[in-house]
Homo-oligomer: A and B are copies of this chain.
């Protein structure tokens, strides 16, 4: 197979389909999503059979149990995929929204119209349900999609792609609106992320290694979510009951998620009072604590936090703790060590809350809440294709709106410039 020709053909089809998707009305897009949901349910036996091939190959290749679990499709997960499609059908259509339409002194009327980005390339790992999920978000936002799933899920992904094509056809939309790359050759990714004439944005969903590789080589703009080294800062004026509840929830609600707290910063003024209380709480969940020297003066038994700990995304029941003096030192620590994902201050002090909100340069900045709220569903986006730690285009949880852009529209009545 000539990968370059193959990808060029995919790109041309996607560009062409993106024109028809951009003008597809809400009725047609929702119909397609509901037809795909039905097709997924109807294809349950096929999906499970194709998925079994992936699982068998995965076992041969020595994938660990966690990976095999993520790879597996069963009746419940298939029903979940269909339900996800129906939920996206129920969301408002972002395309065509006109805002800020005002008359200018010249007499023209100028406003903005929300429009699809065009063609979105999505590169993801293992979980086959992403195929349906990502396709649905792209379709609803009026985009065409080129999807590249993990090679370990190739049979599953192609089987899901069939249901998507069937649903698109039934709704009278182009079957090329969602294409799943059929080859597992890595050169296909290299083409996808450099075909600037056919692809408008790349969304990588996966581990840090994948995202760094894609970012380094891409010529197409990338909406990236690198990693989440999230912090809670317990200020001198914190309500310590809230502080304990938030710091416990941010660490222990779930470990393997990007919005879990990895480092706790504590103002020295309250450290001696709050740290022993927190230690007792964390002990109930067997969280390993690693502290700076000032932390260990208060909690002598805990491990030492090394320099590397301040930049580590543990995704595990481990927490590094640093005691410091006041808000300025906390903000300085964040400038050096935060990954720009989510940080929260616990304080009752008005001015420091206001400063923290203004000065901390992360995609989500919080006061008196758990970092675990940084999530598209919690924020009311209705869906999420990822969380952007970039500053350009879109920051934080990315929903349908993040897959659109705004163009200017100008209405006149024969107006010319003088």
0/1 string, A19-43, CB within 8 A of B gives 1: 1001100000000000000000000
Query: Which residues 345-387 of A have a CB within 8 angstroms of B?
Result: 355, 357-359, 361-370, 372-374, 378-380
Whether B200 lies near A392 (C-beta < 8 A) is: yes
- Point out the residues of chain B lying under 8 angstroms from A201, CB to CB: 391-392
Most buried by B among A110, A216, A361, A411: A110
0/1 string, A381-399, CB within 8 A of B gives 1: 0000000001111011100
- Point out the residues of chain B lying under 8 angstroms from A115, CB to CB: 361
Residues A369 and B408 in contact in the complex (CB < 8 Å), given A378-B104, A416-B249: no
Q: How far is the CA of A118 from the CA of B239 in the complex (A)?
A: 33
Is the interface on chain A under 10, 10 to 19, 20 to 34, or 35 or more residues?
35 or more
Query: Which residues 129-149 of A have a CB within 8 angstroms of B?
Result: none
- Point out the residues of chain B lying under 8 angstroms from A96, CB to CB: 358
- Point out the residues of chain B lying under 8 angstroms from A357, CB to CB: 113, 409
- Point out the residues of chain B lying under 8 angstroms from A415, CB to CB: 246, 368-370, 373
Residues A106 and B391 in contact in the complex (CB < 8 Å), given A373-B417, A407-B363: no
- Point out the residues of chain B lying under 8 angstroms from A362, CB to CB: 407
| Whole-angstrom distance between the Cβ of A213 and the nearest chain B Cβ | 14
Whether A368 lies near B414 (C-beta < 8 A) is: yes
- Point out the residues of chain B lying under 8 angstroms from A369, CB to CB: 108, 410-412, 414-416
Q: How far is the CA of A248 from the CA of B416 in the complex (A)?
A: 9
The 8 Å CB contact of A395, one of B23, B108, B405, is B405
Query: Which residues 201-221 of A have a CB within 8 angstroms of B?
Result: 201, 216, 219, 221
Residues A104 and B380 in contact in the complex (CB < 8 Å), given A406-B395, A410-B365: yes
Question: Is the CB of A335 closer than 8 A to any CB of chain B?
Answer: yes
Which of chain B's residues has its CB closest to A372's CB?
B417
Q: How far is the CA of A183 from the CA of B47 in the complex (A)?
A: 62
List residues of chain A with CB under 8 Å of any chain B CB. Answer: 19, 22-23, 96, 102, 104, 106, 108, 110, 113, 115, 117-118, 200-201, 216, 219, 221, 239, 241-242, 245-246, 248-250, 253, 335, 344, 355, 357-359, 361-370, 372-374, 378-380, 390-393, 395-397, 405-417
Between A and B, 14 residue pairs with Cβ closer than 8 Å are A19-B335, A23-B355, A23-B358, A102-B380, A110-B380, A239-B414, A250-B416, A363-B407, A369-B411, A370-B417, A373-B412, A374-B410, A392-B392, A396-B407
